[in-house]
């Protein structure tokens, strides 16, 4: 006898992605908020959305590569992807924060490729 199709499974199939894996990825990211105190609330929320998206697209790839078909294992993997997704987002925010945007824009507008200290005598 075939298994009944739940409403969530039907929505997941209709949309082409899994809202369940997105949710588990976002939950995994929420769990890892504790280890990212340098991030503000908006950055953590953005991290949660990106970790959920990363889990949503990464879990089917993991399923294809590993051949695992048990949903509970895949949801656990989505949660782990979410945990590590926040660290990726935190790194991206750190790079953006540490970048000297003023000097980049100034160089771009002036048309120079390097600053005066790099030109040499």
* Average pLDDT of the residues in 53-69: 87
How much is the pLDDT for 121?
Answer: 47
Domain membership flag for residue 112: yes
Q: pTM, whole model, 2 decimals?
A: 0.64
Domain membership flag for residue 1: no
* Residue with the larger pLDDT of the pair 2 and 17: 17
Nearest to 58 by CA among 21, 4, 32, 12: 21
Is residue 106 predicted with pLDDT exceeding 50? yes
Nearest to 107 by CA among 116, 120, 94: 116
Domain membership flag for residue 74: yes
Domain membership flag for residue 13: no
Domain membership flag for residue 14: no
* Average pLDDT of the residues in 102-110: 80
Domain membership flag for residue 107: yes
* Average pLDDT of the residues in 45-65: 87
Domain membership flag for residue 9: no
% residues pLDDT > 70 (the chain)? 78
Q: How many domains does the chain have?
A: 1
Domain membership flag for residue 70: yes
How much is the pLDDT for 14?
Answer: 46
Read off the pLDDT band of 17 (50, 70, 90): low
Nearest to 56 by CA among 28, 35, 30: 28
Domain span at 32: 19-119
């Amino acid at each position: 006898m075939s298994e009944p199709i739940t409403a969530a499974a039907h929505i997941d199939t209709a949309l082409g992605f899994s809202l369940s894996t997105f949710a588990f990825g976002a939950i995994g990211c929420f769990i890892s908020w504790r280890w990212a105190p340098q991030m503000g609330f908006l950055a953590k929320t953005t991290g949660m959305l990106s970790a959920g998206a990363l889990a949503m697209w990464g879990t089917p790839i993991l399923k294809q590569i590993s051949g695992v078909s048990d949903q509970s294992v895949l949801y656990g993997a989505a949660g782990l992807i979410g945990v590590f997704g926040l660290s990726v987002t935190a790194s991206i925010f750190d790079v953006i924060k540490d970048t000297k945007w003023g000097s980049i824009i100034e160089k771009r507008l002036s048309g120079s490729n390097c600053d005066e200290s790099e030109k040499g005598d």
